[in-house]
Structure 1
């Protein structure tokens, strides 16, 4: 899939970053910039949004079993 840059300012910025970072290609520059921006955007998201998928997975598992004995479970698993 192609990504075309038709803006001369964006091209100049990519060229400058490529030169400063000694990146082999502008593709590498764009990849790194997008990964960096994605990380920043994810960090800026509210915690409730960042953890929504994890909370949904936990909800799908169901409620905790108050009678579950983790020590016994681990002992049995490790044949102790």
Structure 2
């Protein structure tokens, strides 16, 4: 879906970033969005950052009994 923004300040900021990074408008906006998302995720509490992983682990349940070392060795072809 296209992104249309008709705001003179946003355009001015984008042009300033383009001149600093020597990139295209698309790359400048993409990089700025990625940077802001990463910055916001970094300050989330650990519990929130790991919520998806914890949910997957709960759904998978505990490890099945067995000889995990032997199974891993078999998987990698080790003797």
Equivalence for 1:6: 6
Residue 47 of structure 1 corresponds to which residue in structure 2?
46
Q: Does 1:62 align with 2:75?
A: no
The separation in 2 between residues aligned to 1:29 and 1:43, in whole angstroms, is 21
Offset of 1:69 from its aligned partner? Answer: 2.8
Aligned residues: 78
Residue 26 and residue 64 in structure 1: after superposition, are their counterparts in 2 closer, same or farther (change >3 A)?
same
Residues 2-56 of structure 1: CA distance to partner in whole angstroms, max 9, x if unpaired?
2222211111111011011101x21211111001111111111111011111111
TM-score, normalisation: structure 1: 0.80
Within 2, Cα distance between the matches of 1:58 and 1:28? Answer: 36
Root mean square deviation, CA, Å: 1.7
Gaps of 5+ in 1: none
Alpha-carbon distance, 1:79 to partner? 5.5
TM-score by structure 2 length? 0.81
- Aligned structure 1 segments of 4 or more residues deviating by more than 4 angstroms: none
